[in-house]
């Protein structure tokens, strides 16, 4: 099967299958996804301040930012959150042909990651892990604390997926 299609379909499945009520609307030339268990912005997000409940972030590129609860709970109530940050997904050899049809190409798939600064406004302690391509936890990321806010930064070269674990 086609890896680019699988990645895009898994993100679409998250959006449309995580809750019975999901709002989608356009704001500042970006598609906003809003439900209890998943929130996201897709589009022109470079250097924009994006806020979801108690999470605020700024990305360095246009692309996709999604935050969801694997437990399908409201973000503030979840003990685990997954953050997805990516700017481009492309198979080797994919292109638009002269007839306007997209040719999917094949593996390997290029995923461009987005660097971002993410601030969590919570009194809860939490840890952040980069996630590997197979979903396993990778390295723990360092947190910075300013007053009641805790933040972490992700480099564009680490991973597009991060897991937050709350105590």
Rounded Cα distance between 116 and 155, Å, is: 7
Is there a contact between 77 and 103 (Cβ–Cβ < 8 Å)? no
- CA-nearest of 63, 105, 60 to 84 is 63
Is there a contact between 77 and 106 (Cβ–Cβ < 8 Å)? no
Cα 53–chain centre separation: 15
Rounded Cα distance between 35 and 69, Å, is: 11
- CA-nearest of 110, 162, 112, 116 to 139 is 162
pLDDT digits (tens, 9 = 90+) for 101-128: 988 888 888 888 888 999 998 888 999 9
3 DSSP 8-state letter? H
pTM of the model: 0.83
pLDDT digits (tens, 9 = 90+) for 1-54: 566 666 666 666 666 665 567 777 788 888 888 888 889 898 899 999 999 888
């Amino acid at each position: 099967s086609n890896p680019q299609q699988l990645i895009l379909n898994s993100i679409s499945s998250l959006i449309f299958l995580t809750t019975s009520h999901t709002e989608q609307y356009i704001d500042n030339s970006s598609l906003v996804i809003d439900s209890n268990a998943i929130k996201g912005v897709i589009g022109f997000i470079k250097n924009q301040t994006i806020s979801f409940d108690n999470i605020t972030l700024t990305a360095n590129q246009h692309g996709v930012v999604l935050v969801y609860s694997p437990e399908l709970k409201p973000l503030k109530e979840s003990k685990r959150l997954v953050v997805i940050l990516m700017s481009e997904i492309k198979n080797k050899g994919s292109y638009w042909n002269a007839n306007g049809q997209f040719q999917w190409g094949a593996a390997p798939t290029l995923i461009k990651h987005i660097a971002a600064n993410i601030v969590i406004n919570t009194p809860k302690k939490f840890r952040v892990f980069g996630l590997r391509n197979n979903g396993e936890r990778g390295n723990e990321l360092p947190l910075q604390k300013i007053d009641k806010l805790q933040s972490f930064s992700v480099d564009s070269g680490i991973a597009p997926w991060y897991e937050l674990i709350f105590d």
